[in-house]
Each structure stands twice: as structure tokens, then as C-alpha cells.
Amino acid sequence: MFFTIQTNELYFSYTGLPPYLLNGIDLEIKDGAYVSILGENGCGKSTLMKLILGFLKPSKGTIVTKAKQIGYVPQKNDFSNSNFPITVYEMLNAYRKLLKIKNKEVISNVLQKVGMSSFQDSLMGTLSGGQSQKIFIARALMGNPDLLILDEPSTGVDIGSQKEIYHFLTSVNKKNGITIVSVEHNLDAAISNSTLIYHLSGGKGHLCTPEKYTAEFLKNEQLGRIR
């Protein structure tokens, strides 16, 4: 099995100097894995994601991403452009052109996949949290990505839509073999849906199965709280 993402001795701080927020991260994410990145606020989850996406450059170390096409779903709360006058169709059509996809039907195909076909003429700003998240997932699926990166996909999304979104993500991961990396604050969703969990703490990371994570890390955290 090949890897989609590999980091070697990855160090990062926003100044480029110590102390580092990410302190020698060695992470290998294999093709077809569904990895949730968990950790306390400010531990560097989103920073690691931005490094993988190429928005930031490592202070030291390397990141290799072998994905041919990356799909990215932003965090809804980070996306303050809700008043932007753009319809779902316009948003997806412009993205299709950026990806140089000639076939216009790709728009109806991805909308159908996320069950949002009837919303193509709606303004993005009029959609609910769950609906807009589904549209961003639809956009990320354009161009058949082999890696899907999500930043807290359930933030600002109602419980019903959360279930639909995670069910959909699990399904594209299993059926289509798309590697998924999701920065999560939703512990239950991470444990129930991911194949692996990457726990970040104190600038270091640890990759394990959800079962092991539940048994070890959660137990330690609970014990820590009791003490």
C-alpha cells in the first residue's frame, strides 16, 4: 500500500523560529485511509492541515503529498463570505472552469451525489450550515480527487445534516477509495467514522486506531481530569 501524505521531522512555527507549534511530526497517511486529526484548541490541527495543503511552508522538515487532485472543504465558521452574491451553480461552474473540466454535467453529478440537486439556483448565502457544507463537499468532489481534506466539517451543522455528511464521507472513502483527512472537534464522529486517529498534543502527534484511541488517550484524559 502506498502513502498519500508523508511528513518527515516536520517543524513549524509562525515566526520560523523555536518554540515550534509542530515539533518534529512524522506522519504517514496511506492511500484510502480516513484519518481524523484530534487535539486541544491551539495544538496545531489546522496548521498541520494548512501545511499539507501548501498554504504554509514548514520551518524545518518535509511534506510529500502524492495526491494528483486534492478536494478541500473549508470550515464553515472561517468562511465569512456568506453575503457574497453567488448562486450554487455559479460557484460550482466557476470552479469547474478553474479545474479545466469541459463536461458541464459534472455539476449536476456532484450535486446529485450530495443530494442537493434542487438547490443549484439558490444563493449560497441563503443556505443553512448543513446545506452549504454539502455544497462545499460537492465542490471538493469535482475533478475526482484522490485526497479530501476537511476542516471541522460538522461545525455549525445540525445533527441531522452531520449524520448525512459523515455517512457520505464514509461511503466515498470505502466505495471510491478516496483518502480523507479531517480536522475534527467532533470526537464521536471521529471515533465512529475514521479508520485512524491522529492525536496532536504538545507539538507531537500519535497515529492509532479509534479503538486504541478510546482505550488509551480518553482513559488518560479522564484520569487526568479526576486527579
Q: What would the grid cell of residue 129 be?
A: 450550515
Which member of 22, 37, 70, 189 binds another protein (CB under 8 A)? Answer: 70
Q: What is the DSSP string of 88-107?
A: HHHHHHHHHHHTT---THHH
Place of cell 507539538: 203
Which member of 72, 113, 203, 206 binds another protein (CB under 8 A)? Answer: 72
Query: Does 97 help bind another protein (rule: CB under 8 A)?
Result: yes
* Cα separation, 79 vs 22, whole angstroms: 25
Q: Count of residues binding another protein (CB under 8 A)?
A: 22
Which member of 90, 164, 185, 207 binds another protein (CB under 8 A)? Answer: 90
Which member of 9, 16, 26, 55 binds another protein (CB under 8 A)? Answer: 55
Query: Does 3 help bind another protein (rule: CB under 8 A)?
Result: no
Window contacting another protein (CB under 8 A); options: 25-33, 81-89, 103-111, 197-205: 81-89
Cβ pair 108, 184 in contact under 8 A: no
Query: Does 94 help bind another protein (rule: CB under 8 A)?
Result: yes
When the beta carbons of 132 and 193 are compared against another protein, the nearer one is: 132
Cβ pair 22, 48 in contact under 8 A: yes
Q: Which residue, 193, 98, 97, is CA-closest to 150?
A: 193
Distances (CA, A) of 167 to 83, 109, 114, 197: 29, 18, 11, 18
Residues that bind another protein (CB under 8 A): 53-55, 70, 72, 74, 79, 81, 84-87, 89-91, 94-95, 97-99, 123, 139
